[in-house]
Chains A and B, each alone.
Chain A
């Protein structure tokens, strides 16, 4: 494909039979063995993802925390060293610039991980906001980092023999910088986008192929397989994790998208606070719900949602769920239609097809007794 960006793993994607597609300007595999097989492998054993296209941005300096606090809705001052949080980042009108992870790497050092499709936009936005924070420096370090995600119930068992240190010491949403993974110094965090236990491993750009091959070999007898973007989407969808451009975008606020728990109104100030506070107090005109198809049909992004023959909203993500083996969807409806059991119609190729509102997340992994 012409003019697309490639990660360091491109030759290995071809070697392992990846079906390559254009994903926001990157040439990446949508699948290897098949989306459903890959999806189920992650839920029952483990999967390895190339997520090197994601963006990494550092914020450093005496004003670093203050800048991060202004940028994001969650409270970064609560982060201990090496702790991680998930947060929306909003415009002044409360709509979403992006959703991201914030890693606290030092008193005055933060490592932000953003969506691949938004990296340039986010960096420009952060630089703009940083003008009011002269003692904070923002750097786009994306070209320096590759990232692999190892996800699934077998992830820890697969990774442990390859690292110095105990992975069991890394709690959920915590990181360990400078962890040596098969001789390579990496940032390792217990985070992920699948709803399973697992790790995200950040390494220097050129080290990714070595780690990929080492991990696949190490995980071979535990069912580890390469996973493409197709299964990455069905996995996060079942776990009700938002995808920018679908559940969140610059026309939607975190409150509307059901991400209110990541908006901390105790913070003195942050971009969008006024609008979001008002939404919290007065209510919203649209709310994200999950639904299950009752009649035959698959809901897809942008299909209209109707009630009583009238269009009331739209689908943001919809698909066959490989784990639950039914057709599910997420979409925006007016607040009065959000109760579980509410009947809705999804318009599929011009026909109203019945669905019913259900609880989300659709899938939640079984808690592990530790």
Chain B
């Protein structure tokens, strides 16, 4: 039984996108946070930054690893999760909820995003 929420879209690089009309919320998946281990630092973009789908928009660091974050859509950053500055561990404990990273005003979504079932298969195979 998968814990990847059915209503989200997923990228190959293990970001998720929750779309609500023209707004999107972005974070990293349960699989990603498990691979990383304890998250100790998150670097997020400035509000107002315009992103292209597939563009690096930030960094998530665990004790052992530095990992880039990639945008799942073309759009503009309208909010970032300030809580992650003091409590980066929330990315581990609640990756789909409190661990959200950026809110976007979406222009268009990356067509290569997967649905939950396809993402389940993607990570079952090791996530590559």
Q: Which residues of A contact B (CB under 8 A)?
A: 19, 30-31, 34-37, 230, 234, 296-298, 300, 319-320, 327, 349
B59 and A34 contact, CB distance less than 8 A: no
Given known pairs A298-B61, A319-B63, the reply for A31 and B37 (CB within 8 Å) is yes
Is the interface on chain B under 10, 10 to 19, 20 to 34, or 35 or more residues?
10 to 19
Shortest CB-to-CB span from A362 to chain B, Å, is 16
Taking a contact as CB atoms closer than 8 A, the residue among A36, A296, A297, A349 that contacts B38 in the complex is A36
**Can you give 18 A-B contacts (C-beta < 8 A)?**
A19-B37, A30-B64, A34-B37, A34-B38, A35-B38, A35-B64, A230-B64, A234-B63, A296-B41, A297-B41, A298-B66, A300-B66, A319-B40, A319-B63, A320-B40, A320-B41, A320-B63, A349-B59
Q: Which residue of A lies closest to B34 (CB)?
A: A19
The interface residues of chain A lying within 8 Å CB-to-CB of B61 are: 298
Q: In the bound complex, what is the Cα–Cα distance between A35 and B36 (angstroms)? A: 11
Q: Which residue of B lies closest to A296 (CB)?
A: B85
Q: In the bound complex, what is the Cα–Cα distance between A297 and B59 (angstroms)? A: 11
Q: In the bound complex, what is the Cα–Cα distance between A65 and B76 (angstroms)? A: 70
The interface residues of chain A lying within 8 Å CB-to-CB of B37 are: 19, 30-31, 34-35, 230
Q: Which residue of B lies closest to A349 (CB)?
A: B59
Q: In the bound complex, what is the Cα–Cα distance between A297 and B61 (angstroms)? A: 10
Shortest CB-to-CB span from B68 to chain A, Å, is 10
The interface residues of chain B lying within 8 Å CB-to-CB of A30 are: 37, 64
Chain B residues 26-74 with CB under 8 Å of chain A are 37-38, 40-41, 43, 59, 61-64, 66
**Chain A contact residues, majority secondary structure:** mixed
Q: Which residue of A lies closest to B92 (CB)?
A: A34
The interface residues of chain B lying within 8 Å CB-to-CB of A31 are: 37
The interface residues of chain A lying within 8 Å CB-to-CB of B89 are: 36
Q: In the bound complex, what is the Cα–Cα distance between A19 and B64 (angstroms)? A: 12
Q: Which residues of B contact A (CB under 8 A)?
A: 37-38, 40-41, 43, 59, 61-64, 66, 85, 89
Q: Which residue of B lies closest to A325 (CB)?
A: B40
> Considering the complex of A and B, which 6 residue pairs feature the smallest CB-CB distances, nearest first?
A320-B40, A36-B38, A35-B63, A298-B41, A35-B38, A34-B38
Interface-centre pick from B37, B38, B63, B85 (highest chain A CB count, 10 A): B63
The interface residues of chain B lying within 8 Å CB-to-CB of A19 are: 37
Shortest CB-to-CB span from A181 to chain B, Å, is 32
Q: Which residue of B lies closest to A231 (CB)?
A: B63
Q: In the bound complex, what is the Cα–Cα distance between A49 and B96 (angstroms)? A: 34
Q: In the bound complex, what is the Cα–Cα distance between A35 and B61 (angstroms)? A: 13
Q: In the bound complex, what is the Cα–Cα distance between A234 and B40 (angstroms)? A: 13
The interface residues of chain A lying within 8 Å CB-to-CB of B85 are: 296
Q: Given A36-B38, A230-B37, A296-B41, 16 more contacts at CB 8 Å?
A: A30-B37, A30-B64, A34-B37, A35-B62, A36-B40, A36-B63, A36-B89, A37-B38, A296-B43, A297-B41, A298-B40, A298-B61, A300-B66, A319-B63, A320-B41, A320-B63
Q: Which residue of B lies closest to A300 (CB)?
A: B66
Q: Which residue of B lies closest to A297 (CB)?
A: B41
Q: Which residue of A lies closest to B66 (CB)?
A: A300
Q: In the bound complex, what is the Cα–Cα distance between A296 and B42 (angstroms)? A: 10
Interface-centre pick from B37, B59, B66, B89 (highest chain A CB count, 10 A): B37
Shortest CB-to-CB span from A228 to chain B, Å, is 10
Q: In the bound complex, what is the Cα–Cα distance between A89 and B17 (angstroms)? A: 54
The interface residues of chain A lying within 8 Å CB-to-CB of B63 are: 35-36, 230, 234, 319-320
Q: Which residue of A lies closest to B63 (CB)?
A: A35
Q: In the bound complex, what is the Cα–Cα distance between A363 and B85 (angstroms)? A: 24
Shortest CB-to-CB span from B72 to chain A, Å, is 22
Shortest CB-to-CB span from B61 to chain A, Å, is 6
The interface residues of chain B lying within 8 Å CB-to-CB of A296 are: 41, 43, 85
Interface-centre pick from A30, A36, A300, A319 (highest chain B CB count, 10 A): A36
Interface-centre pick from B40, B43, B85 (highest chain A CB count, 10 A): B40
Shortest CB-to-CB span from A35 to chain B, Å, is 5
Shortest CB-to-CB span from A96 to chain B, Å, is 25
Q: Which residue of A lies closest to B41 (CB)?
A: A298
Q: Which residue of B lies closest to A35 (CB)?
A: B63
Q: In the bound complex, what is the Cα–Cα distance between A213 and B85 (angstroms)? A: 40
Q: In the bound complex, what is the Cα–Cα distance between A35 and B39 (angstroms)? A: 10
The interface residues of chain B lying within 8 Å CB-to-CB of A327 are: 41
The interface residues of chain A lying within 8 Å CB-to-CB of B43 are: 296
